[in-house]
């Protein structure tokens, strides 16, 4: 009985192909890479955003920036760079960007809608498909209120790269 089990085990291993396991280093659907800059600086100076919470309407808590945490702080970023997923089944994604989240009197939310086209590419049987995005040539990012508004904390947005093919490069610069 043991020989039969061992024989079946060996044949099952021989039946595995390289395509049955998705390598962790295989590039998949990229996220939108955003860097934050100081609007008042004379040069392009990176600036950390304090207690930034980014939330879309269809997510209860928000984008997780600190996966190692289990507290509500996992949804906050204090960095100059963030990575945001875009919807693969739609051509728009809307996010609420809340600066100083939870700080009474200084919490401020700007809403940005990202408009793009998608293209699916087959990777392998194990990895499936990945989606690449291209930000629209006209009005790729639409704020709910103008950047010149006194209540808007975001002062300007610059598209650096409209084709989202990987996460190794910055796609959008936000000045505040």
**In sequence order, what DSSP letters do the residues of the chain get, joined into one string?**
-HHHHHHHHHHHHHT--GGGS--TTS--SPPEEEEEE-TTSSS--B-PPTTEEEEETT-SS---S-TT--SGGGGEE-SSEEEE---SSSSEEEEEEEETTT-TTT-EEEEEEEEEEEEEEEEETTTEEEEEEEE-SS-SEEESS-TTSTT-S--EEEES-SEE--SSS--EEEE-
- pLDDT computed for residue 60 by the predictor: 83
Give Dmax (Cα) for the chain: 78
Query: Is 5's pLDDT higher than 50?
Result: no
Q: What percent of the chain shows pLDDT beyond 90?
A: 69
Checking phi first, is residue 74 left (phi over 0); if not, alpha (psi -120 to 50) or beta?
Answer: alpha
The stretch 71-84 carries a mean pLDDT of 95
- pLDDT computed for residue 73 by the predictor: 93
Of 113, 114, 117, 94, nearest to 163 by C-alpha is 117
Cβ neighbours of residue 146 closer than 8 Å, sequence gap 6 or more? 152
- pLDDT computed for residue 148 by the predictor: 77
Q: What is the mean pLDDT of the chain?
A: 88
Higher pLDDT, 8 or 46: 46
Query: Is 26's pLDDT higher than 90?
Result: no
Domain-by-domain residue ranges, the chain? 22-175
Cα–Cα distance between 148 and 4 in angstroms, integer? 75
Task: Count the alpha carbons within 13 Å of 134 in the hemisphere toward its beta carbon.
Answer: 7
For 120-158, what is each residue's pLDDT tens digit? 999 888 899 999 999 999 999 999 888 877 889 999 999
Query: Is 9's pLDDT higher than 70?
Result: no
- pLDDT computed for residue 110 by the predictor: 95
Query: Is 109's pLDDT higher than 90?
Result: yes
pTM above 0.75, yes or no: yes
The stretch 35-48 carries a mean pLDDT of 91
> Tokens 């289990």 sit at which residue?
70
- pLDDT computed for residue 7 by the predictor: 45
């Amino acid at each position: 009985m043991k020989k039969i089990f061992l024989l079946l085990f060996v044949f099952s291993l021989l039946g595995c192909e390289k395509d049955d396991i998705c390598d962790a280093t295989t590039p998949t659907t990229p996220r939108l890479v955003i860097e934050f800059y100081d609007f008042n600086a004379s040069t392009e100076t990176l600036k950390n955003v304090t207690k930034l919470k980014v939330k879309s309407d269809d997510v209860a808590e928000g984008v997780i920036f600190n996966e190692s945490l289990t507290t509500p702080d996992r949804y906050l970023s204090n960095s100059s760079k963030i990575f945001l997923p875009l919807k693969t089944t739609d051509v728009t994604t809307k996010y609420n960007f809340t600066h100083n989240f939870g700080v009474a009197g200084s919490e401020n939310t700007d809403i940005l809608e990202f408009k793009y086209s998608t293209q699916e590419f087959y990777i392998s049987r194990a990895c499936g498909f990945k989606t690449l995005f291209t930000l629209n040539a006209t009005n790729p990012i639409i704020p709910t209120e103008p950047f010149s508004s006194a209540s808007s904390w975001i002062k300007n947005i610059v598209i650096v790269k409209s084709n989202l093919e990987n996460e190794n490069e910055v796609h959008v610069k936000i000045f505040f």
